[in-house]
Amino acid sequence: MAWEPALESSIDLSPPPARPGWSYFLDFDGTLVDFARTPGEVSVDARLRALLDAVHRAVHGALAIVSGRPLVELDQFLALPHLPMAGQHGLEWRDAFGCVARVPRLSLSPHIVQAARHWAAERPGALAEVKDFSVALHVRGNPPLLPEALAFGQQLVASDPSRLMLQPGAFVVEIRCRGGNKGDIVDRFLRDRPFLGRRPVFIGDDLTDEYGFIAAARGGGFGVRVGEPRETSARHRLLDPAAVRTWLGPLAAADQGTH
Protein backbone atom coordinates (compact mmCIF):
# COMPACT_ATOMS: atom_id res chain seq x y z
CA MET A 1 0.00 0.00 0.00
CA ALA A 2 1.07 3.57 -0.60
CA TRP A 3 1.77 5.82 2.34
CA GLU A 4 -0.95 8.44 2.67
CA PRO A 5 -0.52 11.84 4.33
CA ALA A 6 -2.12 12.35 7.72
CA LEU A 7 -5.27 14.39 7.14
CA GLU A 8 -6.26 16.76 9.89
CA SER A 9 -9.70 18.29 9.50
CA SER A 10 -12.23 19.51 6.99
CA ILE A 11 -11.82 23.17 6.04
CA ASP A 12 -14.04 25.73 4.34
CA LEU A 13 -11.91 28.85 4.36
CA SER A 14 -11.29 30.76 1.14
CA PRO A 15 -7.63 31.54 0.44
CA PRO A 16 -6.34 35.10 0.74
CA PRO A 17 -6.03 37.09 -2.50
CA ALA A 18 -3.32 35.75 -4.80
CA ARG A 19 -0.13 37.80 -4.81
CA PRO A 20 2.49 38.21 -7.54
CA GLY A 21 5.33 37.51 -5.08
CA TRP A 22 4.16 33.95 -4.37
CA SER A 23 4.83 30.77 -6.36
CA TYR A 24 1.99 28.60 -7.66
CA PHE A 25 1.75 24.84 -8.21
CA LEU A 26 -1.45 23.73 -9.91
CA ASP A 27 -2.92 20.30 -10.44
CA PHE A 28 -4.71 19.80 -13.78
CA ASP A 29 -7.70 17.42 -13.69
CA GLY A 30 -10.37 18.53 -11.24
CA THR A 31 -8.43 21.70 -10.47
CA LEU A 32 -8.02 23.63 -13.72
CA VAL A 33 -10.45 21.56 -15.79
CA ASP A 34 -13.57 19.60 -14.90
CA PHE A 35 -13.44 15.83 -15.00
CA ALA A 36 -14.75 14.04 -18.09
CA ARG A 37 -15.93 10.48 -18.71
CA THR A 38 -12.42 9.50 -19.86
CA PRO A 39 -9.06 11.32 -19.44
CA GLY A 40 -8.92 12.12 -23.15
CA GLU A 41 -12.26 13.90 -23.16
CA VAL A 42 -11.45 16.82 -20.85
CA SER A 43 -11.99 20.25 -22.33
CA VAL A 44 -9.38 23.01 -22.31
CA ASP A 45 -10.59 26.33 -23.65
CA ALA A 46 -8.58 29.26 -24.96
CA ARG A 47 -9.50 31.32 -21.89
CA LEU A 48 -7.72 28.87 -19.60
CA ARG A 49 -4.59 28.95 -21.75
CA ALA A 50 -4.65 32.75 -21.76
CA LEU A 51 -5.18 32.85 -17.99
CA LEU A 52 -2.24 30.54 -17.26
CA ASP A 53 -0.01 32.42 -19.68
CA ALA A 54 -0.87 35.78 -18.09
CA VAL A 55 -0.42 34.50 -14.51
CA HIS A 56 2.90 32.94 -15.50
CA ARG A 57 4.11 36.33 -16.67
CA ALA A 58 2.65 38.16 -13.66
CA VAL A 59 4.58 35.96 -11.21
CA HIS A 60 7.76 36.12 -13.32
CA GLY A 61 7.63 32.44 -14.22
CA ALA A 62 6.89 31.02 -10.75
CA LEU A 63 3.94 28.90 -11.85
CA ALA A 64 4.08 25.16 -12.53
CA ILE A 65 1.55 22.49 -13.46
CA VAL A 66 1.93 19.38 -11.28
CA SER A 67 -0.16 16.46 -12.52
CA GLY A 68 -0.48 12.72 -12.67
CA ARG A 69 -0.67 12.96 -16.45
CA PRO A 70 2.44 12.53 -18.62
CA LEU A 71 4.14 15.73 -19.76
CA VAL A 72 3.30 14.99 -23.39
CA GLU A 73 -0.44 15.00 -22.59
CA LEU A 74 -0.22 18.22 -20.60
CA ASP A 75 1.51 19.90 -23.52
CA GLN A 76 -1.12 18.59 -25.93
CA PHE A 77 -3.96 19.99 -23.85
CA LEU A 78 -2.40 23.28 -22.74
CA ALA A 79 -0.07 24.14 -25.63
CA LEU A 80 2.08 26.26 -23.31
CA PRO A 81 5.55 24.73 -23.74
CA HIS A 82 7.26 27.51 -21.77
CA LEU A 83 5.43 26.58 -18.54
CA PRO A 84 7.34 24.53 -15.95
CA MET A 85 5.53 21.23 -15.48
CA ALA A 86 5.75 17.96 -13.60
CA GLY A 87 4.06 14.84 -14.91
CA GLN A 88 3.30 11.37 -13.59
CA HIS A 89 3.22 12.60 -9.97
CA GLY A 90 6.68 14.16 -10.23
CA LEU A 91 8.52 11.28 -11.90
CA GLU A 92 9.21 13.55 -14.89
CA TRP A 93 9.44 17.32 -15.08
CA ARG A 94 10.39 20.38 -17.15
CA ASP A 95 11.99 23.23 -15.23
CA ALA A 96 11.68 26.96 -15.82
CA PHE A 97 14.61 26.86 -18.24
CA GLY A 98 13.05 24.20 -20.46
CA CYS A 99 15.22 21.31 -19.28
CA VAL A 100 13.33 17.99 -19.14
CA ALA A 101 14.33 15.22 -16.73
CA ARG A 102 12.99 11.96 -15.30
CA VAL A 103 13.63 9.88 -12.22
CA PRO A 104 16.12 7.34 -13.62
CA ARG A 105 15.87 3.56 -13.90
CA LEU A 106 12.11 3.24 -13.56
CA SER A 107 9.94 0.95 -15.64
CA LEU A 108 6.62 -0.84 -15.33
CA SER A 109 6.65 -4.61 -15.89
CA PRO A 110 4.70 -5.74 -18.98
CA HIS A 111 2.74 -8.30 -16.96
CA ILE A 112 1.38 -5.52 -14.74
CA VAL A 113 0.16 -3.60 -17.77
CA GLN A 114 -1.33 -6.74 -19.34
CA ALA A 115 -3.15 -7.68 -16.13
CA ALA A 116 -4.58 -4.18 -15.73
CA ARG A 117 -5.79 -4.07 -19.33
CA HIS A 118 -7.40 -7.48 -18.96
CA TRP A 119 -9.16 -6.41 -15.75
CA ALA A 120 -10.59 -3.27 -17.37
CA ALA A 121 -11.59 -5.03 -20.59
CA GLU A 122 -13.82 -7.43 -18.66
CA ARG A 123 -15.69 -4.67 -16.78
CA PRO A 124 -18.00 -2.23 -18.58
CA GLY A 125 -17.24 1.36 -17.67
CA ALA A 126 -13.63 0.63 -16.62
CA LEU A 127 -10.57 1.92 -18.45
CA ALA A 128 -6.87 1.08 -18.12
CA GLU A 129 -4.69 4.11 -18.88
CA VAL A 130 -1.08 3.07 -19.50
CA LYS A 131 1.68 5.61 -18.82
CA ASP A 132 5.46 5.33 -18.74
CA PHE A 133 5.70 4.70 -15.00
CA SER A 134 2.20 3.60 -14.08
CA VAL A 135 -1.12 2.16 -15.15
CA ALA A 136 -4.33 3.77 -13.94
CA LEU A 137 -7.62 1.93 -13.53
CA HIS A 138 -10.36 4.49 -14.17
CA VAL A 139 -13.88 3.64 -12.99
CA ARG A 140 -15.63 7.00 -13.41
CA GLY A 141 -17.84 5.26 -15.97
CA ASN A 142 -18.87 2.68 -13.36
CA PRO A 143 -18.20 4.04 -9.83
CA PRO A 144 -19.34 0.89 -7.93
CA LEU A 145 -16.24 -0.81 -9.34
CA LEU A 146 -13.94 1.32 -7.16
CA PRO A 147 -13.59 -1.15 -4.24
CA GLU A 148 -12.86 -3.97 -6.67
CA ALA A 149 -10.30 -1.82 -8.51
CA LEU A 150 -8.64 -0.98 -5.20
CA ALA A 151 -8.43 -4.65 -4.21
CA PHE A 152 -7.04 -5.61 -7.61
CA GLY A 153 -4.47 -2.81 -7.45
CA GLN A 154 -3.36 -4.05 -4.05
CA GLN A 155 -2.82 -7.51 -5.53
CA LEU A 156 -0.65 -6.11 -8.32
CA VAL A 157 1.45 -4.05 -5.91
CA ALA A 158 1.88 -7.08 -3.64
CA SER A 159 3.56 -8.90 -6.54
CA ASP A 160 6.48 -6.42 -6.45
CA PRO A 161 6.16 -4.21 -3.33
CA SER A 162 9.76 -2.96 -3.42
CA ARG A 163 9.22 -1.33 -6.82
CA LEU A 164 5.49 -0.59 -6.93
CA MET A 165 3.06 1.49 -4.90
CA LEU A 166 -0.67 2.11 -4.97
CA GLN A 167 -2.02 5.61 -5.52
CA PRO A 168 -5.81 5.88 -5.07
CA GLY A 169 -7.63 8.92 -6.42
CA ALA A 170 -11.02 10.21 -7.51
CA PHE A 171 -12.60 7.19 -9.24
CA VAL A 172 -9.14 5.93 -10.16
CA VAL A 173 -6.62 3.50 -8.72
CA GLU A 174 -3.08 3.90 -10.00
CA ILE A 175 -0.37 1.24 -9.81
CA ARG A 176 2.89 3.16 -10.16
CA CYS A 177 6.62 2.91 -9.73
CA ARG A 178 8.07 4.17 -6.50
CA GLY A 179 10.36 7.16 -6.78
CA GLY A 180 8.63 10.36 -5.71
CA ASN A 181 5.38 12.23 -5.29
CA LYS A 182 3.95 15.70 -5.87
CA GLY A 183 5.48 16.99 -2.65
CA ASP A 184 8.95 15.89 -3.71
CA ILE A 185 8.69 17.72 -7.02
CA VAL A 186 7.47 20.89 -5.28
CA ASP A 187 10.56 20.71 -3.06
CA ARG A 188 12.71 20.34 -6.17
CA PHE A 189 11.14 23.35 -7.90
CA LEU A 190 11.50 25.48 -4.75
CA ARG A 191 15.27 24.95 -4.74
CA ASP A 192 15.70 26.83 -8.01
CA ARG A 193 14.69 30.08 -9.67
CA PRO A 194 12.14 31.52 -10.22
CA PHE A 195 10.50 29.64 -7.32
CA LEU A 196 13.39 30.07 -4.89
CA GLY A 197 12.53 32.23 -1.87
CA ARG A 198 8.84 32.60 -2.73
CA ARG A 199 5.88 31.53 -0.62
CA PRO A 200 4.49 28.36 -2.25
CA VAL A 201 0.80 27.74 -2.90
CA PHE A 202 -0.32 24.29 -4.03
CA ILE A 203 -3.82 23.90 -5.48
CA GLY A 204 -5.32 20.46 -6.06
CA ASP A 205 -8.39 18.32 -5.60
CA ASP A 206 -7.28 14.75 -4.98
CA LEU A 207 -5.48 12.54 -2.47
CA THR A 208 -2.31 12.72 -4.57
CA ASP A 209 -2.28 16.48 -3.99
CA GLU A 210 -2.04 16.08 -0.22
CA TYR A 211 1.72 15.61 -0.66
CA GLY A 212 1.80 18.97 -2.43
CA PHE A 213 -0.20 20.65 0.33
CA ILE A 214 2.27 19.38 2.92
CA ALA A 215 5.28 20.51 0.87
CA ALA A 216 3.77 23.99 0.44
CA ALA A 217 3.19 24.30 4.18
CA ARG A 218 6.71 23.07 4.86
CA GLY A 219 7.98 25.84 2.58
CA GLY A 220 6.05 28.53 4.47
CA GLY A 221 3.02 28.55 2.20
CA PHE A 222 -0.29 26.74 2.11
CA GLY A 223 -2.48 24.29 0.21
CA VAL A 224 -5.84 24.96 -1.39
CA ARG A 225 -8.17 21.99 -1.71
CA VAL A 226 -10.60 22.09 -4.64
CA GLY A 227 -13.98 20.43 -4.21
CA GLU A 228 -16.41 19.48 -1.50
CA PRO A 229 -15.19 19.63 2.12
CA ARG A 230 -13.30 16.61 3.44
CA GLU A 231 -10.40 15.97 5.75
CA THR A 232 -7.26 17.45 4.23
CA SER A 233 -3.83 18.92 4.91
CA ALA A 234 -4.80 22.04 2.95
CA ARG A 235 -5.48 25.25 4.84
CA HIS A 236 -8.00 26.68 2.37
CA ARG A 237 -10.69 25.55 -0.06
CA LEU A 238 -12.17 26.55 -3.40
CA LEU A 239 -15.34 24.94 -4.73
CA ASP A 240 -14.39 23.92 -8.28
CA PRO A 241 -12.14 24.70 -11.27
CA ALA A 242 -14.23 27.78 -12.08
CA ALA A 243 -13.48 29.13 -8.59
CA VAL A 244 -9.76 28.45 -9.11
CA ARG A 245 -9.82 30.47 -12.33
CA THR A 246 -11.67 33.29 -10.59
CA TRP A 247 -9.13 33.33 -7.76
CA LEU A 248 -6.23 33.52 -10.21
CA GLY A 249 -7.98 36.15 -12.33
CA PRO A 250 -6.66 39.28 -10.56
CA LEU A 251 -3.08 38.13 -11.20
CA ALA A 252 -3.85 37.83 -14.91
CA ALA A 253 -5.52 41.23 -14.86
CA ALA A 254 -2.45 42.75 -13.17
CA ASP A 255 -0.30 41.35 -15.98
CA GLN A 256 -2.59 42.87 -18.60
CA GLY A 257 -2.30 46.19 -16.86
CA THR A 258 1.48 46.22 -17.43
CA HIS A 259 1.13 45.90 -21.20
DSSP single-letter state for residue 146: H
The catalytic site residues sit at: 27
Closest by alpha carbon to 3, among 204, 170, 156, 207? 207
Instruction: Enumerate the β-bridge partners of residue 10.
Output: 231
C-alpha span between 167 and 178 (Å, rounded): 10
With contact defined as beta carbons under 8 Å apart, do 190 and 219 qualify?
yes
C-alpha span between 250 and 73 (Å, rounded): 28
> What pairing do the DSSP bridges indicate for beta strands 85-87 and 9-10?
unpaired
With contact defined as beta carbons under 8 Å apart, do 22 and 221 qualify?
yes
C-alpha span between 129 and 116 (Å, rounded): 9
What sections of 37-145 are H helices per DSSP?
46-58, 71-78, 110-121
